[in-house]
């Protein structure tokens, strides 16, 4: 993922002096993308543990590929606001201490994101950078199979506010508004995981998510 970001920054460096901008103020760009979501998921700290987890217990979250829709509005020729819509699903498994144990099952996440983007106009190719707030909403999550024998009856992941950084490039394919886009985002956000035994919290851990989210697909401007 670092190499992708480095390549994007290299393109932006070449475009540091923009030429005359295309008249895009007031226009809209819609994108249909295939998106890879690559989270971390490691435990940063254990806050509650009444079941006696192994001292070196660590976790990771699986990757996923999902469809994404992005809508972008140009408030000026080179400045736009973009929001995305997608739903991604992940499991959390033990790596050390509980290797291979499923701790979280089918956690469904909506990564609500709004970024402000600056576009460099170099003709048909338009690289950009952006940043903005992100709010991760977990709409469904279940305790993993390995936690049920420990007496776990319910599970939740906390919704959290964080930051997204973004870089990418839009390439015009024709004069009818169609194009091709490649985009990379890095999110900085954590979540608190709670496993319940009845009404009591049996385990509570803070997890680092910080996913890379890499997309590519078609765009249409109007």
Domains of the chain: 2-39+61-142+157-192+210-221 (2.40.160.20)
DSSP codes of every residue in 158-208: --EEEEEEEEEEEEE-STTSEEEEEEEEEEE-EEEEEEEETTEEEEEEEEE
Per-residue pLDDT at 121 = 84
Per-residue pLDDT at 54 = 87
Per-residue pLDDT at 23 = 80
Per-residue pLDDT at 24 = 86
Cβ neighbour number for residue 112 with a 10 Å cutoff: 16
Residue-wise pLDDT tens for the chain (222 aa)? 544 444 444 444 443 334 344 688 999 999 999 999 999 999 999 999 988 888 889 999 999 999 999 999 999 999 999 999 999 999 999 999 889 999 999 999 999 999 999 999 887 799 999 999 999 999 988 899 988 888 899 999 999 999 999 999 999 999 888 999 999 999 999 999 999 999 899 999 999 999 999 999 999 999
Cα-Cα end-to-end distance for the chain = 32
Per-residue pLDDT at 9 = 43
């Amino acid at each position: 993922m670092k190499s992708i970001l480095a390549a994007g920054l290299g393109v932006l460096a070449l475009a540091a002096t923009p030429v005359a901008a295309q008249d895009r103020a007031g226009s809209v760009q819609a994108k249909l993308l295939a998106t890879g979501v690559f989270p971390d998921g490691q435990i940063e700290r254990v806050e509650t543990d009444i079941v006696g987890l192994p001292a070196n217990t660590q976790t990771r979250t699986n990757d996923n590929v999902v469809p994404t829709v992005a809508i972008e509005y140009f408030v000026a020729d080179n400045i736009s606001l973009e929001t995305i819509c997608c739903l991604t699903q992940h499991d959390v498994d033990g790596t050390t201490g509980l290797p291979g144990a499923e701790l979280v099952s089918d956690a469904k996440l909506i990564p609500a994101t709004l970024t402000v983007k600056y576009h460099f106009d170099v003709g048909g190719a338009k690289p950009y950078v952006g940043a903005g707030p992100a709010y991760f909403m977990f709409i469904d999550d279940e305790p993993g199979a390995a936690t049920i024998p420990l007496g776990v009856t319910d599970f939740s992941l906390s919704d959290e506010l964080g930051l997204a950084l973004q870089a990418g490039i839009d390439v015009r394919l024709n004069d009818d508004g169609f194009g091709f886009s490649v985009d990379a985002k890095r999110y900085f956000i954590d979540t608190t995981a709670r496993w319940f035994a009845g009404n009591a919290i049996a385990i509570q851990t803070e997890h680092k998510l910080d996913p890379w989210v890499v997309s590519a697909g078609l765009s249409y401007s109007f």
